[in-house]
Amino acid sequence: MMWRGDWHEMMGGWGFFPWGGLHMLFSLAALALLVAFVVSLFSHRPGGPHHHFPPPPESGQRAGMGLAILEERYVRGEIDREEFMLKKRDLLG
């Protein structure tokens, strides 16, 4: 059979044109979903679903951290001795 330029005959009946557009749309949608998936894999934001926070410190550790901060403020001269002693008693219970 020699081709005469008849697309209908070449594609065998109903052929290419009605389904070609749908196939192209489905292919583009699949490509867009693939791109979105790959982008989501590489875009980890802090605080997002892939971020894991360390466990909170225990009460003894918190008091130690607070005491260290209080000592630093006292050394820098931000608070005086009376305030330091008062806050230290509050921290240690």
Q: What is the pLDDT of residues 28-70, one digit of tens each?
A: 999 999 999 988 888 766 555 555 666 666 666 666 788 899 9
**What is the number of domains present in the chain?**
2
Q: What percent of the chain has pLDDT over 70?
A: 57
Per the CB < 8 A criterion, the answer to whether 63 and 91 are in contact is yes
17 belongs to a structural domain: yes
51 belongs to a structural domain: no
73 belongs to a structural domain: yes
pTM: predicted TM-score of the whole model, two decimal places: 0.37
Q: What is the DSSP letter of 12?
A: T
54 belongs to a structural domain: no
**Residue-number span of the structural domain to which 17 is assigned:** 7-42
Angle between helix 59-76 and helix 81-92 axes, rounded to 10 deg = 180
